[in-house]
Amino acid sequence: MIRADHAAGGALAALGLLVLALSGDLPIGTLSFPGAGMMPKLLASLLVVFGLLLAVRARESAPLADVSWQDLPHAMRVAAVTGVAIAFYQTLGFVVTMGLLLFVLIFGVERRHPVSAAAFSAGVVALTYVLFNIALKTPLEPGLLGF
């Protein structure tokens, strides 16, 4: 039976191997003058060892099938909306991007009333803008629109 630690340990050991493969051109150096590759290769090897150790002792963990993924669709929607906001943050600026981010999450993802979602989004963005730009004198990203 595949258990959660088989998957976690295996994935992290594979990551360690990938790092080792990517470290080919980094010199290990000598003991008296260690090179740039010494520490990363040592750590990647330890990652493989501990990953395998976790997989070997996996009987202590729950079966992989028992890991609940019920919250995954919600998490994916939130992550996707956040990703889109990040992609447009420098172009559209703080006010537009964050206003849309809040509105889409509250109305689109959480299915709240559009008017209250819009009012909340506009109010929060305006307050934050005033707080950072005026009170704290830390200008937020203006974007192409200039605010």
Partner 1 sequence: MGTVESLLLGFSVALQPDVLWYAFLGCLVGTVVGVLPGIGPLSGISILLPATFGLDTTKSVVMLAGIYYGSQYGGSTTAILMRIPGEASSVMTCIDGYAMAQKGRAGAALCIAAVGSWVAGTFGVLMLTLIAPPLAAFALRFGPPEYTALLVLGLIFLAYMSSTSLPRTLLMACLGLLLGTIGIDSMTGHFRYSFDIAELGDGIGIVPVAVGLFGLGEILATPSANVVRDVIAPKLAQLLPNIEEWREAAMPIARGSILGFLVGLTPGSAHIISSFLSYGVERRLAKHPEEFGKGAVAGVAGPESANNAASTGAFVPMLALGLPTGPITAVLLAALMIHGVPPGPTLVNEHPDVFWGFVASMYVGNLMLLALNLPLVGVFVNVLRIPYAYLYPLVIMFCIIGVYEVNHSIVDVWIMLIMGIAGYLLRKFGLDPAPLVLGLVISPTLEMSLRQSLIMSNGNWTIFFQRGIALALLALCFALLALAALSLRRGRKDWRSRLAEAEAGDCSVE
Q: Residues in the site for partner 1, rule: CB under 8 A? A: 4-5, 7-9, 12, 15, 19, 22-23, 26-27, 30-40, 43-44, 46-47, 50-51, 53-54, 57, 60-61, 67, 69-71, 74-75, 78-79, 82-83, 85-86, 89-90, 94, 98, 101-102, 105-106, 110, 112, 120, 124, 128, 132, 136-138, 140-141
Name the residue among 122, 78, 119 with its Cα closest to residue 96.
122
> Which CB, 131 or 145, lies closer to partner 1?
131
Distance CA(59)–CA(129), nearest Å, equals: 52
In the complex, minimum distance from the CB of residue 115 to partner 1, in angstroms, rounded to a whole number: 13
> Which CB, 30 or 145, lies closer to partner 1?
30
Question: Radius of gyration over alpha carbons of the chain, in Å?
Answer: 24
Distance CA(49)–CA(56), nearest Å, equals: 10
Distance CA(25)–CA(18), nearest Å, equals: 14
Q: Which two tokens stand for residue 121?
A: 């989004």
Distance CA(147)–CA(144), nearest Å, equals: 8
In the complex, minimum distance from the CB of residue 123 to partner 1, in angstroms, rounded to a whole number: 11
In the complex, minimum distance from the CB of residue 18 to partner 1, in angstroms, rounded to a whole number: 10
In the complex, minimum distance from the CB of residue 76 to partner 1, in angstroms, rounded to a whole number: 9
